[in-house]
Amino acid sequence: MQKWYPELRPGKAPAFLRLLEAIEKEISSGALPIGTKLPTQRELAERIGISVGTVIKAYAEGQRRSLLVGHVGRGTFVAEQRQSVQSRGRVIDLSLNIPGPSRLPKVLADSTWTFPKDISDYVGYLSQSGVLDHRSQFAKLLRETGFDTGPDNLVVTNGAQHGFSITLSAICQPGEKVFVEAATYHGMKSYAHFAKLELVGLPMDSEGLVPEAFDKAAASGNARVLFTMPTIQSSTAAIMGAARRREIVRIARKHDILIIEDDAYGFLDEASIPLASLAPERTFYVNTLSKCLAPGLRLGMLVVPEQYIPRIHQAMRATVWMASPISSMIASEWIENGMAAKVRQSLAQEAKKRVKLASEILRPYVRPNHPPSFHVWLDLPSGAVEHVAARALQRGVITTPSSALLVDPSLISGLRISIGVPERIEDLEWALRQLAGSLEASNEADMSII
């Protein structure tokens, strides 16, 4: 059969639901018979011009409704329609890692801040680094969250993804290898595929990247760049201890490895010292306002070793020329008048409350003393991950597919739960209890096989 691709029609519904409706229509018409293999998530995303995450959500919801069935290593297929499409019922999405319900609108509503009338200084083409006054405020924000830096080496970017993307474009060539943790930020995987970079996954433990494994890999000479998230790692929420950080820096210097440090969640653990503080001469420090203020601002901060600033400026000119100075002006005012700190503190309190709830409901799968964060990692055997995720889907809970995060599945397995998505804590509690039931059902199934 010729490979099928859907037509994604315009509409107000989310793209993943419109995609699923197209699949459902073709199944109902007989154009997609039982057993038909659908395109891979990446292939379909590239073919119809949407994100891989959108396809993942559509396929996941299709499995929940018993339209589709997924097999690890084989793909996604049209399922046998034993009954009409299941009632959609209640669905909670715990797959998107967002920083909890936005606190910014309420803080704005309670303030007297108004949009400045005179923006004439910010409507033209400005410096690739950004406006100095704005960079000074962003440096102040970083100092408040544990990174003592100034504005001189700080470049304003369109978010963290843009920050590490232009860094990689400036220091790597297509075909080169980059060291990452065995489970990493899905945006890094996406960019590496686009830029034709090969990611080399390294072993992890409860503190994240294992130094001995990094030392051995670096000695091989296979790569000269490390991308890491030492504070609340985006998959496992691991935090490197101080001694571990010093050891990672020592190894990087020993083998002349450049470091890209993604500190998007650093505001939730201000006690941790960034690697960039320990090795400023070789660390590109990436942070963002998306997690601690608002994703819609699309602003990030990239602190660059001095000798690489010209390359970063070149990469900025080649991509977006500059980050939006108008957005920077707004954000810098919010930092200066204390509104940003209020939002950040509120989010930190919400993270503590949600982790506490997840730890209580999902005990013993959530590790003890889990740090405040908006995602938790459940250590599960690789064979159990798919079963638990499938049962959760049947109960109306969408989780993050392991394939979106894992670079080397032989080194780590588990399920990430994004607990910041539901607006209401009651909805989160319901979803967590459904997940707990899925974990129990998986254990019972395993026992029945034994």
Same domain, residue pair 184 and 305: yes
In whole angstroms, give the CA distance from residue 409 to residue 235.
Answer: 13
Q: What is the band of 89 on the pLDDT scale with cuts at 50, 70, 90?
A: low
Average pLDDT along the chain: 89
This prediction has a pTM of 0.81
Same domain, residue pair 215 and 278: yes
> Distance of CA 209 to CAs 204, 214, 218, 440, 450, Å?
5, 7, 13, 30, 35
* 348-396 pLDDT, tens digit each: 999 999 999 999 999 889 988 899 999 999 989 888 888 888 888 878 8
Same domain, residue pair 285 and 432: no
Q: Which pLDDT value is given to residue 2?
A: 59
Q: Which pLDDT value is given to residue 450?
A: 33
> Distance of CA 326 to CAs 126, 144, 313, 352, 353, Å?
11, 23, 19, 33, 34
Q: What is the band of 180 on the pLDDT scale with cuts at 50, 70, 90?
A: very high
Same domain, residue pair 305 and 428: no
Strands 92-93 and 397-398: parallel
Are 196 and 189 in contact by the 8 Å Cβ rule? The answer is no
Most confident of 68-72, 143-147, 164-168, 295-299: 164-168
> Which of 336, 352, 380 is the last residue in one of the domains?
336
| Region of poorest pLDDT, from 10-24, 119-133, 243-257 | 10-24
Average pLDDT of the residues in 206-210:
96
* 185-207 pLDDT, tens digit each: 989 998 999 999 999 999 999 99
Q: What is the band of 81 on the pLDDT scale with cuts at 50, 70, 90?
A: low
Same domain, residue pair 165 and 297: yes
Are 262 and 228 in contact by the 8 Å Cβ rule? The answer is yes
Structure tokens at 56: 């993942």
**Hey, what amino acid is at 170?**
A
Same domain, residue pair 151 and 291: yes
Residue 80 has pLDDT above 80, yes or no: no
Same domain, residue pair 368 and 331: no
- Which CATH number is 414's domain given? 3.90.1150.10
Average pLDDT of the residues in 288-312:
93
Beta bridge partners of 182: none
* 322-335 pLDDT, tens digit each: 999 999 999 999 99
> Which of 290, 312, 336 is the last residue in one of the domains?
336
Domain that holds residue 226: 118-336
- Which CATH number is 330's domain given? 3.40.640.10
Q: Give the residue from 70, 100, 49, 10 showing the smallest Cα distance to 375.
A: 100
- The larger pLDDT score, comparing residue 254 to residue 381, is at 254
In whole angstroms, give the CA distance from residue 230 to residue 181.
Answer: 10
Compute how many other C-beta atoms are within 10 angstroms of the C-beta atom of residue 266.
26
Q: Which pLDDT value is given to residue 378?
A: 93
Same domain, residue pair 20 and 97: no
% of the chain surpassing 90 pLDDT: 58
Q: Which pLDDT value is given to residue 83?
A: 42
Instruction: Report the Cα–Cα distance between both ends of the chain, in Å, rounded.
Output: 40
Residue 155 has pLDDT above 60, yes or no: yes
In whole angstroms, give the CA distance from residue 203 to residue 385.
Answer: 19
Q: Which long-range contacts (CB under 8 A, 24 or more apart) does 136-143 make?
A: 136/332, 137/331, 137/332, 137/335, 137/336, 138/301, 138/328, 138/331, 138/332, 138/335, 140/335, 140/336, 141/301, 141/335, 141/340, 142/287, 142/301, 142/303
Question: Residue 40, class by beta-carbon neighbours within 10 Å (0-12 exposed, 13-18 middle, 19+ buried)?
Answer: middle
Compute how many other C-beta atoms are within 10 angstroms of the C-beta atom of residue 330.
20
- Please report which residue ranges of 145-225 form alpha helices under DSSP H: 160-171, 186-195, 211-219
Q: Which pLDDT value is given to residue 440?
A: 85
Number of domains in the chain: 3
- The larger pLDDT score, comparing residue 33 to residue 225, is at 225
Q: Which pLDDT value is given to residue 447?
A: 37
Q: Give the residue from 298, 10, 51 showing the smallest Cα distance to 162.
A: 298
Q: Which pLDDT value is given to residue 395?
A: 85
Same domain, residue pair 44 and 5: yes
In whole angstroms, give the CA distance from residue 70 to residue 358.
Answer: 27
Compute how many other C-beta atoms are within 10 angstroms of the C-beta atom of residue 349.
13
Largest CA distance in the chain: 72
Residue 264 has pLDDT above 50, yes or no: yes
Q: Which residues contact 397 (CB under 8 A, 6 or more apart)?
A: 91, 92, 94, 431, 434, 435, 438
| Region of poorest pLDDT, from 31-45, 122-136, 205-219 | 31-45
Q: Give residue 64's Cα distance to chain centre.
A: 23
Same domain, residue pair 268 and 169: yes
Same domain, residue pair 194 and 284: yes
Task: Report the b/e string of 147-181 with b at 16+ CB within 10 A.
Answer: bebebebbbbbbbbbbbbbbbbbbbbeeebbbbbb
Q: What is the band of 261 on the pLDDT scale with cuts at 50, 70, 90?
A: very high
